[in-house]
Amino acid sequence: MLGLGVAAQTASCAFLYGLPYLLPDIRAAEHLSLAQAGALVAAPTIGLIATLIAWGAAADRWGERLVMATGTGLAGLLLLGAQLGHNVVLLGAVFALAGAAGASVNAASGRVVLGWFGADRRGFAMGARQMAQPLGLMVAALVLPPLADRWGYRSALLFPAMLCLVVAVLVAVFVLDPPRSEVAAGEATRSPYRSGALWRVHGASALLVVPQFATSAFALEFLVAERGWHAAPAGRVLAVVQLAGVLGRLAVGVWSDRVASRLRPMRQIAMASTAAMLLLALGAQLHSALAMVALVAASIISVTDNGLGFTATAELAGQSWAGRALGAQNTSQNIVAFATPPILGALIGGPGYAVAFALSAIFPAIGVLTVPVRSERPAA
């Protein structure tokens, strides 16, 4: 079940977050400016944000298998439809609809982990599930540019389309909806949002997204423009850093299982992220080697909390509300992720990297105070 959930999430992310790897080919083929092409590849994220909570509610009502299979199948069919016609506006609409369909996996695959893994293994399982985003990006980076270079970007889109369709079939055939407790199946679904704990988890997770995207969006440019690196070796170093972040998610999941808590490790990661971003700002201001060390540390630390936030959300919400709560969690994070690069980019273009990185440290510092550690209850 975990493997199928990760496969579905990877297929979805290969398209949702892998489109930027086709950016040069899209610009050349459609004669678009950078801003126009950027808007085109951002269209799936808009569809994703708009439908996450609705898909979560559907998973709560009709089960994980139906939602995952339907969403990934629709995404695959829509990407096949991208081969028809040459209208860029229509293509953007197709991308947005495919992103809306692919959003189904985000909430439903989290419910699969919640249902099939006990509390003593759930942190590790959710950490493994959170590996899907970097895995999807790695697949997209390896496959999409060569295909686009040889046959054009529209033909390259056949790969994520077929990947989604194959995974949809596997999910439909092999995924088993986890058993639901009698209380979850028959209760009058009292909203977990009547208390402030879930709101605070969503808020803290969104705050911790800022340093993650501050480093991932501008690390390469910082190394090239400020540190004098060449793009190729800088890219290889950052690829290794991404791999370390993947392993870090797994390690933090195991840590949370060992200490029987998701929110205490999450608060400690927020503290470490704050310190790393402040050191990065100091290194950038002083133009010292400290900046490189801090950049690596911040890039790894800032991604390790994702699984903790998702696991805590699912556990606090309970089976009846897990899908909607995971959809809300993902929505808040994606909104912040969407807004962070342009805002910080404007700061970098003005006061510079040191100010932008220092500002990014404020958000995890607020997150330290926001994480509702005292509200956490032992998972059943």
Residue 185 belongs to some domain of the structure? no
Whether 147 and 200 share a structural domain: no
Percentages (nearest 5) of helix, strand, coil residues in the chain: 85, 0, 15
Same domain, 131 and 268: no
Does residue 379 lie in a domain region? no
Domain count along the chain: 2
User: One-letter amino acid identity for 258?
Assistant: R
Phi, psi angle pair for 93, to nearest 5°: -65, -40
Is 260 a domain residue?
yes
Structure-block tokens of residue 110 = 């989290």
SS3 state at 351: coil
Question: What pLDDT shows up at residue 39?
Answer: 78
Residues 173 and 196 in one domain: no
Q: Are 129 and 115 in contact (CB under 8 A)?
A: no
pLDDT band of 378, cuts 50, 70, 90: low
Amino acid 39 reads: A
Residue 143 covered by a domain? yes
**Amino acid in the structure at residue 142:** L
154 domain residue, yes or no: yes
Q: CATH number for the domain including 92?
A: 1.20.1250.20
Range of weakest confidence among 4-8, 25-29, 232-236: 232-236
78 lies in the same domain as 156: yes
Residue at a domain's end among 177, 210, 244:
177
**One domain for residues 253 and 325:** yes
324, 299: one domain: yes
Residue 176, classed as helix, strand or coil, is coil
Residues 133 and 207 in one domain: no
Q: Are residues 231 and 367 in the same domain?
A: yes
Each residue of 222-241: b (16+ CB within 10 Å) or e? bbeebeebeeeebeebbeeb
Domain match, 135 and 208 both = no
Quickly state the pLDDT bin for 300 (edges 50, 70, 90): very high
Tokens 């005292």 belong to residue: 374
Q: What is the token pair recorded at 186? A: 């028959």
CA dist., res. 364 & res. 208, Å (int): 5
Establish if 151 belongs to a structural domain.
yes
Judge if 161 and 56 occupy the same domain. Answer: yes
pTM for the whole structure: 0.79
pLDDT of residue 362: 97
Token readout for 355 is 């100010």
Domain check: are 161 and 223 in the same one?
no
Domain boundary (116, 148, 177) is at: 177
Q: Are residues 346 and 304 part of one domain?
A: yes
Mean pLDDT, range 52-57, rounded to an integer:
88
Last residue of a domain, one of 116, 147, 177: 177
Report residue 183's pLDDT band, with 50, 70 and 90 as the boundaries: low
Average pLDDT over residues 2-15: 90
Establish if 208 belongs to a structural domain: yes
Residue-number span of the structural domain to which 152 is assigned: 2-177
| Percentage of the chain exceeding pLDDT 90 | 36
Q: What average pLDDT does the segment 49-71 reach?
A: 89
Assigned domain for 184 exists: no
